[in-house]
Amino acid sequence: MAGIKENKLIMIILAILIPPVAVGIKVGFTAHFWINLLLWIFTWIGGIIHGLIVVLK
């Protein structure tokens, strides 16, 4: 059974609704997670865009 990390649809939905969670699941607590968290807090749409880029990469 594939995990949540491999399910693209769920990851895309998470990247739109809660980008830091999606990035955290995808790459762990790396620099991408912290960048995404800051983008989401300060610009909201920037966090979503960055989250989608990381998830779809």
| Helix ranges (DSSP H) in the chain | 8-17, 19-27, 31-42, 45-56
Q: What is the pLDDT of residue 34?
A: 97
Q: What is the pLDDT of residues 13-50, one digit of tens each?
A: 999 999 999 999 999 999 999 999 999 999 999 999 99
Position 2 pLDDT exceeds 90: no
Who wins on pLDDT, 15 or 6? Answer: 15
Position 6 pLDDT exceeds 90: no
Instruction: Tell me if residue 12 falls in helix, strand or coil.
Output: helix
